[in-house]
Structures are given as structure tokens and as C-alpha cells.
Amino acid sequence: MDKVLSNKKIIALYVLPSLLLILGVVYIPIILTGYYGLNKWNGISAMEFIGMENYLALVKDSAFWSSAWHSLLLALFSTLSLVIYLAVAMVLATRIKGANLFRKIYLIPMLLSSVAIAQLWLKIYHPTNGIVNSFLESIGIANPPAWLADTSLVLPALFIPILWQYAGFYILIYYAALKNIPASLEEAAKIDGANALQIAWKIKLPLAMEVIKVTIVLAVVGSLKYFDLIYVMTDGGPNGASEVMASYMYRVAFRAHDFGYGSAIGFFLLVICLIITWIIRKLTATKDTIQYS
Amino acid sequence: MITGTAGQLQSGPASSGAALGRKLGYGLLYIILILVAVLQVLPLVWLLFFSLKNNQEVFNLPPFSLPMDPKWENYSKVWSAGNINVYFLNSVWVTVLATALTVILGSLVTYAVTRMKWKGSSFVLGLFMVAMMIPVHSTLIPLFSVYNKIGLTDHPLSLIFSYVAFNMPITIMILLGFYYALPREVEEAAVIDGCSVNRMFVRIVFPMTSSVLATTAIINMIYNWNEFIFVNTFISSDIYKTLTVGVQNFIGQYTTDWGAIGATLMISILPILITFLFLSDKIVEGIAAGSVKG
């Protein structure tokens, strides 16, 4: 058995195609990104090595820090909305009828393409014919805001469809985690006189903690690298008011054709995502994982 | 005796009051759940409605109403005139090919990692798992310039390579759980009977995993169908564009024709909605399995 299953040729045959692919498409590129960042390069002519110049310029680039601030706001907003998702999942998990149907319906927006969702929400926010302003006008608000064209409203206006897009995803994860908690625990607590809130706070929340940690990482990192809806809906505008790190990188690299500086931003994005993942895992590390079966 | 009946009399209304309270509580919970469901679906219903209207109807009729005669011609119009048929077919074959490759290659890796004995297997698995945390944007510039050098920009292979590599981690992650749980007795018996590893994988293991293969395939299909940034960056010719970028370009040209835009968007999301209608359990299963276990 062992002899058959340690055949080197077969192992290589099974693993190498995928391994080469992931090295070539994921790992070598991130090393190259870091290296390109050390060069002055427009993507076409020869590279010119300039050391840390791009990275130093990045530190002083106010447009970049403004985009980083917007990404951070999105991360904060996404993390806070996890509380709502968890609350909805807790309601769903109380052996309510139709819970399965509800969680499926909630998931629909997440399955659709960001481009389609972005285009749809462009129409929803349309200043004159969108449903938001149609509704506001119908209840007597004469001059409803221009949402995506308004520098002070554009960010919150973009956060809403992002929340809408991912709500079902997090509710689904939380629901699955809560369903994993054995009903006997809840029944024992009930016999001891605990009410629904106490059961949620003292029993369900601690037992779902592992999953909650993972979702915090997903929400924060997902927000820091967020791109799609913002790129399609506002392209960072108006006047940079909704620029995020990924859209700024894309603009620098593929519009201004500054591949060197764009790479520096891309590398920074990578480092920030990895560091934050590590920090959140450290901060929320529990000494021993809770066992229940 | 007397105190007993008094107790019963008292407990009667009290417990029905509690039941009423519980019913009200449940009613409130249901209202919240239904409200969330409506919010999730309402924009899509509105999209369906305006895809069946002309501009005049969009501007004059109430948002959630259908015109007397729905303008189905919006759909036939954009299907041929807007290149949407080309983009649609591109999306189909790129999605199918990338999905098939990912699922097959992912199965091979998962088999090698869970069943075969070799040094570095956990390291290799780690490489695949860590790749899940790497932002696509950090790879975009080198990928573009390398594809450019080897003549793969504006070529569908650039998409296939990128899709397979970036979806490999989640595919392996979903498969892993299943492979670990799969009983090994059949395989052990096969080895004793002199069956080769290749034959065992193709004839025994691969078929046994068909249910999890379906799950991973659906998740891959959804991701590939919806992918935007790679197509947007690597592909410039209309004949190779997939729906996401095609729709984006089309709408950029026809910003004022609401019906045409609505119909285009509906066409781009319909395959996913139909898949969802029939296979929602698999989709839910795949997304749950691919999200947390890391």
C-alpha cells in the first residue's frame, strides 16, 4: 500500500500542474510586484532601478492616503455590519419555519456579477428616475440628493450596495455555525431559567466565536482590497471622494501607465492585507478552542 | 384540593399570556426576516420591470408596475445588436473550460495530499491555502506584463490560467473535507488486488466524489461567470470579451436606453438565477464549505 502510494512520478504528475500554475500566476507575480515597485517603469520601455523611491513617494502621496482612509472606513463599516448579520442569523437559527428559504433568498445578490449589481445600483441612485429619489419625491422631499455625484454622500451611498451584496454570505456562515451548536446546551440553559437574550449572549456567542473571528478577517481584508462596485459605479469619483486603494492602484497602473508606482501600491496592499490578517488572528486568539460535539 | 384548583385557575391565563407573547415575538421576528428578504430581492424585481419598458414608460409609470404590453423586444434587440450573443458564448466556454480544469486539477492535488505519502505535502497544501489571502490586485501588473511578453494578452488563455489558479485554493479546500471523510477500505482492497494509482483515482475515487465535485463545480462556475477584473485588464478585442466586461462596455455606449440596459443586465444574471433556482442547496453548501474552515 505505502509503496504504491509513494510513487514519486505519480505524485509529480498529480501535483505539479497545479503547483506550477499557482506559483506562476500567484506567487511569482507578488514577488515581481515588489520588485517592479523598485523601478521607474511605464510598462513598455526599459525599467530603471530607482530603489525605494516609489515606496517613499507612496508615504507622502496624499491621494493614496485618502484612498487608504476610504478603504479603512469600508472595513470599519463592514465589520460593524457583521453585528446585524449575526443578529439575523440568530433569529434564523431559532428553529424558525422557512429558515432555509430565507437564507437562500438572502444569498442571491452575492451570486450575481459585481458589474450587473453596480449597473443596477447606478440606476437605483439615478437622480431623477432611480427608485431612491422617486420614493423620496413621492413622500414630499422636493430636492433629493444626487447621491453618487455628491462628494459627501458618495461613500455611504456605495457602502449600501456592498452591504446588500454580502449580507447573505455572512448570514449563511453564521447560520451554519449557530446550527452546529447542540440543542441540548440551549435546553439545559432554559431549564436553568435563562431567557433568549441570555442564551444568545452567554452560550451561542462564545460558541460561535471561532467563526466570528474568521468573518472579521474576511470582512476587513475583503474591504481593504475592495474594488469592483466602486470601480464600475463611480470610478473613485467625484474628485477622488470614493477612491479606494485598489481603484487607485488600477488608475495609476492602467490609466496613467505608471507600472512602477502602481506596483509599489499593489505590494503595499498585499503587505497590509497579510499584516492585518495576522494582527486580527493574534488579537482574537483564544487559548484553547472550544470543543463541543 | 382547593388551593390546587386555585393554582390551576391562575396558571391558565398566565400561560396563555406567555404563549401570546411568544406568538407576537415570533410574528415580529418573521416581519424582520421577511423585510430583509424583500430588501434583498426588490432591486432585482425592479430591474426585471424596467427591462420590459421603454424609456417613456420608465419615466412615467410607477417604478413597480409593468406596462400593458411588456417590451420583450428589448431582449432580442440587445442580444444581437449589442454583441451580447458573442460575449455570452465567450462567457459560457471560458467558464466551462476553466471550471473543468480547476475541478480536475484540484481533485488530483487533493488526492495526492490526502492519500499519498510524500515529503512536503503539507507545505504544498499550505501554499495553496495561503494563496487564498493574496489580493488579486497585487498580482495584476506582473500578470499583465508577463502575459504581454508571451503573447497571451488579448487571448482567452490568459483568463483560463488566471481563473484556474485563483480558484484552485477554494476548490481544494472544499474537496479536502470530503476526501478526509471518504472511507479508504475500497482503495486498500483495490491496491491489494494490484490496481494502479491512476486507475484507482479515475475509476474509484473520482466517481465517489461526484457530489462534492458538483458543489465545487457550481461555485467555480459562479465565480468564473462573474469575473471582471482579469477580463477588463487582459482582453481588449470584442471577440474575446466575456459578459461582465461586454455588458460594462455596452452600457457605457447606451447610457440613456433604460430598457436595453435592463435587458442586458437580466441576460447576464439569468444563467446564475436559473442555476440558483434548481441547485440552491449545492450553492449554499459550497459557499459555506469554502468560507470558514481556513
What is the complex's ipTM, to 2 decimals? 0.90
**Residue B205 to residues B211, B217, B230, B285, Cα–Cα distance (Å):** 12, 17, 34, 21
- Over residues A193-215, the pLDDT tens digits come to 888 788 888 888 888 888 898 89
| pLDDT higher than threshold 50 for residue B85 | yes
B positions 43-72 inside 8 Å of A (CB): 43-44, 46-47, 50, 58-59, 63
Chain position carrying cell 439615478:
A126
Cβ contact, residue pair A28, B265, below 8 Å:
no
Cβ contact, residue pair A173, B291, below 8 Å:
yes
- Over residues B223-239, the pLDDT tens digits come to 999 999 999 999 999 99
Total CB pairs under 8 A between chain A and B: 265
| pLDDT higher than threshold 90 for residue A277 | no
Q: CA A237, CA A243: separation in Å to the nearest integer?
A: 7
Q: Report the gap between the CA of A22 and the closest CA in chain B (Å).
A: 5
**Residue A196 to residues A90, A202, B168, B199, B277, Cα–Cα distance (Å):** 10, 10, 42, 55, 34
- Over residues B164-207, the pLDDT tens digits come to 999 999 999 999 989 998 888 888 888 888 888 899 899 889 89
- pLDDT category at B10 given cuts 50, 70, 90 is very low
For A71, which DSSP code? Answer: H
Which positions ≥6 away from B199 have C-beta within 8 Å?
none
Q: Give the pLDDT score at B9.
A: 42
What's the whole-number mean pLDDT along residues B34-57? 92
Cell of A221: 481584508
* Range of lowest pLDDT (A75-79, A163-167, B15-19, B101-105): B15-19
CA A129 to chain centre: 30
Q: Report the gap between the CA of B59 and the closest CA in chain A (Å).
A: 6
Among candidates A27, A43, A215 on the partner chain, residue whose Cβ is nearest the Cβ of B145: A43
What's the whole-number mean pLDDT along residues B157-166? 97
- pLDDT category at A1 given cuts 50, 70, 90 is low
- pLDDT category at B15 given cuts 50, 70, 90 is low
- pLDDT category at A98 given cuts 50, 70, 90 is confident
Alpha-carbon torsion A256, A258, A259, A265, what sign?
negative
Hey, is the C-beta of B243 within 8 angstroms of any chain A C-beta?
A: yes
Rg (CA), chain B: 27
Burial of A244 (0-12, 13-18, 19+ CB in 10 A): buried
Q: Do the beta carbons of residue A47 and residue A261 sit within 8 Å? A: no
Percent of the residues in chain B that have a pLDDT greater than 90, as a whole number:
56
Domains of chain A, start order: 61-283 (1.10.3720.10)
Q: CA B240, CA B225: separation in Å to the nearest integer?
A: 14
Summary mean pLDDT of chain A: 90
Closest CA to A161 of A247, A231, A248: A231
Picking from B137, B158, B216 by the largest number of A CB atoms within 10 A of its own CB, the best residue to mutate is B137
> In chain A, which residue's Cα lies nearest the Cα of B275?
A111
- Over residues A12-50, the pLDDT tens digits come to 999 999 999 999 999 999 999 999 999 999 988 889 999
Q: Report the gap between the CA of B74 and the closest CA in chain A (Å).
A: 16
Q: Report the gap between the CA of A132 and the closest CA in chain B (Å).
A: 10
Picking from B24, B40, B115, B184 by the largest number of A CB atoms within 10 A of its own CB, the best residue to mutate is B40
Beta-carbon count within 10 A of A132 CB = 18
Residues of B in contact with A254 (CB under 8 A): 144, 233
Hey, is the C-beta of B38 within 8 angstroms of any chain A C-beta?
A: no
B positions 11-30 inside 8 Å of A (CB): 26, 29-30
> In chain A, which residue's Cα lies nearest the Cα of B108?
A14
What's the whole-number mean pLDDT along residues B123-135? 92
Domains of chain B, start order: 83-289 (1.10.3720.10)
| pLDDT higher than threshold 50 for residue A108 | yes
- Over residues A171-185, the pLDDT tens digits come to 999 998 898 888 888
| pLDDT higher than threshold 50 for residue B1 | no
> In chain A, which residue's Cα lies nearest the Cα of B244?
A115
What's the whole-number mean pLDDT along residues B10-22? 61
Hey, is the C-beta of B100 within 8 angstroms of any chain A C-beta?
A: no
Q: Give the pLDDT score at A243.
A: 96
What's the whole-number mean pLDDT along residues A233-247? 93
Q: Report the gap between the CA of A83 and the closest CA in chain B (Å).
A: 15
Q: Give the pLDDT score at B141.
A: 96
